[in-house]
Each structure stands twice: as structure tokens, then as C-alpha cells.
Amino acid sequence: NETIAVVGLGYVGMPLAEKVAKSGYPLIGIDIDEGKVQELRSNAPHLNREPSDNNWAKTPVTASSDFDLITEVSTVIICVPTPVDENKWPDLSIVEAACTSVASRLQRGQLVILESTVNPGVTESVVIPALENGSGLIAGQDFQVAHCPERINPGDTKWDVSNIPRVVGSLSESGLRRAVDFYESVIEAEIRPMGTLKEAEAVKIVENAFRDINIAFVNELALSFSRLGIDVVKVIEGASTKPFAFMPHMPGCGVGGHCIPVDPYYLIHYAKANGFDHDFLSLARRINERMPEFTANLVSEGLNEIGKAASQGTVALLGMTYKPDVADDRESPSHIIQDCLMQMGMRVITFDPHSPEHSSAASVEEALDHADVALIATAHASFAGLRSADFVNKGVRVVVDGRNCLPKDELLEAGLIYKGIGR
């Protein structure tokens, strides 16, 4: 008799909504974007449970932009974006708007779960006040609140919403029990109850800040080793032979996406507001944010090595999204690199097979036509497959490998100038 509402049908909410329905819960998927509503509506026929005893258990799936439907459900799960603004400050306006829309429909006995990534304290300082003020109900008594940070990894075919372990925190024991029971009925992986809401909020921030500092570590090594004539990739691969206590990360032209470059700022600002400076996290962010400019300078150096000033150079910028074979360009370093190259006076031709809207060329071949320099900014499979002939035959003289994804020795043997990130 539990009906579930999922508010926000993006890269987090949509897979969750589908998994909820496949688990047999009547589902109401809500989004302000009619396109997302239609997407769920068209997926609905496939969301029925596996046939059992030769009869399909038809699970009702409703997709709508009407928040009034929330009055009919037992649990509301909020999966909306939590970006940062241009000053890297957390932008909680979308979470707040979603909570306000839920609040005016909130019913006694309901459980509200926030999956959006937020810094510790946000559920208590933003989500609960919005829900209480808009409903006149009291959290922990009239309704329950929990936080279960999302862990979707876009493009990952191995780990998805059905098998990624989760952590859950709540305002009350009964809220925690309800949330854990719900997720255990939907997800085939460990559901770890946390002691408080803040602990659950901190888990997600910590796991992503952990990734950011590790990337910053190898990026700093790349900056250092490029002066020492040491191939940092070979060193990391060598260190990876150690079967314990080493976790390889790779240097690159920058850190993009809606998680890794964003989440640390949530903790940095929250801690600063409470009197503590995360110098280490801030330094890691500064190192990672320096990589796009470092990469643009490699392009400029390459042009100089073929006797051209930056302003005389043409660059094929290959890859505009933030991650291989993913169409998402949010916080992508490619945009910063493009700006740097244009500020240096270069002519920049862009191509990304996953992002036509950010491509000025229609193909790699077209982008490489008349280019002096080819810059790989995203290691899409189609780019990693490029070989020296692809460049030499187009008259390209310099290859800047922003993701260290090309065969350096083969390109050098073909007479190309190769510049990797730390190799």
C-alpha cells in the first residue's frame, strides 16, 4: 500500500523511478520539465515487474508535472540538481523550490527523502524548514525526513541504482527504519544506516572530495614530472603494481562534471562558515582548476616549436564533454581551454561526437583539416583510437594529449610533436 513519488527525473531520479516501479511500488514520477515527464511515460510499459507465476504484476506508473499528486503517496524522494554558482557557492535554490512545492501537499505520516548531494547541515537548515513552513506539520513527528545521497555514476555499465550500496540518515529512529526498509526493498546492496542526517550528508561530500584530492595529487605530479623528464603515467602504472594502499588516478587537462569539482566547495564553504578552513581541499581545487590553462600553454608551446605565434595557429579541440563517451558537458574543462586558446588569439575548431551543439566541425576529419595542433580534451573511444596517420595526413604537426590516451611513442616516431599531461 506504499505509493512512491520521485520528484526530479534527471540522471538520478529517472533510473531510481524505474527501479522503484520494477520493484512493484506504484510510482508517481514528477518533473517540471514536460520532456522528462514524457520520457517516463514512454518508458512505463517496460517498468512492470518480472513475470511471476505467468502473470505480470502490473505496476501503475504515473508521470506528471502536477505536484498535487504528492498527496496520494506514502514516500516522496527528491532528486533535483545542487549546482554551484559562478563564485563556486552552493546553489540550493532548486532543492528549496522542490521542497516548497512538496510542502504545500505534504500529508501526515509521509516520509520525505532527499537524494540530492548537499553539504552537512542542509537537510536540517534548508529542507526541513521549507517542508515545515509550507505544511504547518512538524518533522520527526507529523512526517519523517531522511537523506540518502545519490551515487549514480553516469556512463557506468557495471554499477547502477540497483547494485550500488547506499547510506541513509534520518531525523528519527522511525524515519531511519522506514527509509532503510524502503531502500532494502528496492536495491540489491548494503543499505548502511547512519547515526545522523549530517553523517549521511558528509559521506557523499567526503567520497567525492577524496576523488578530487587524489586527482589533484597526480595533476601536481604531472606538473612536476613534466619538468623532470619523467613519464608520470608510467610511474602511476608502476605504483599500481602495489596490491595494497595505492589507488591509481590519472592526470588530465582538468576535472569536470557536476560532482567532483563541485562537492568539495560545499564542505569548504560550510566548514568556513563554522570557523574552519579546509586548506587542503581548497589547494586541491586550485591545482585541478589550473590544468586547463596548463594545457592551453602546451598548445601555445607547440605552435612556437613549429615557428608559429599563438595568433597564427589553428587548433582542433577534440572533446567538449567532461567524461569519456558521456554527453554531459557540465563544468567541462574543455570550455575553459577553448576560452584560453581564443584569448591567445588562436583559431579553434571544436568537435565532439557526443555534443553536436558544442562542435563547430561535423567530424574529426573536418576538425583536423588545416589544423596545426590537435588537442584531445576528452578521451572518447573514437579519439583514443586515433593514430599518427590521422594527424600526419591532415598536416597536423603537434598533438596535445589532454587525457594521455594516445600512443605517445608511435606519434613521436611519425615525426609529430607530442605533448601529454606529465608525459
Residues labelled as active-site residues:
259
How far apart CA 387 and CA 401 sit, in angstroms, is: 12
Shortest Å distance, C-beta 27 to ligand SAJ: 22
| Residue (266 or 322) nearer to ligand SAJ, CB | 322
Shortest Å distance, C-beta 63 to ligand SAJ: 24
| Residue (15 or 26) nearer to ligand SAJ, CB | 15
Shortest Å distance, C-beta 104 to ligand SAJ: 30
Shortest Å distance, C-beta 219 to ligand SAJ: 7
Nearest residue to the partner ligand SAJ, using Cβ: 257
Beta-bridged to residue 61, according to DSSP, are 27
| Residue (19 or 151) nearer to ligand SAJ, CB | 151
Show the cell assigned to 31: 518533473
- For helices 128-135 and 93-103, angle between their N-to-C axes, nearest 10 degrees: 30
Shortest Å distance, C-beta 149 to ligand SAJ: 8
| Residue (49 or 211) nearer to ligand SAJ, CB | 211
| Residue (294 or 322) nearer to ligand SAJ, CB | 322
Shortest Å distance, C-beta 262 to ligand SAJ: 9
| Residue (372 or 401) nearer to ligand SAJ, CB | 401
Instruction: Give residue 401's identity as a one-letter amino acid code.
Output: D
Picking from 256, 387, 251, 393, the residue whose alpha carbon sits closest to that of residue 319 is: 256
Picking from 72, 87, 95, 88, the residue whose alpha carbon sits closest to that of residue 149 is: 95
Find where cell 557526443 sits: 354
| Pair 286, 136: CB distance under 8 Å | no
| Pair 120, 87: CB distance under 8 Å | no
How far apart CA 327 and CA 89 sit, in angstroms, is: 25
Where does this chain bind ligand SAJ (CB under 6 A)? 151-154, 207-208, 211, 215, 249-250, 252, 255-257, 259-260, 322-323
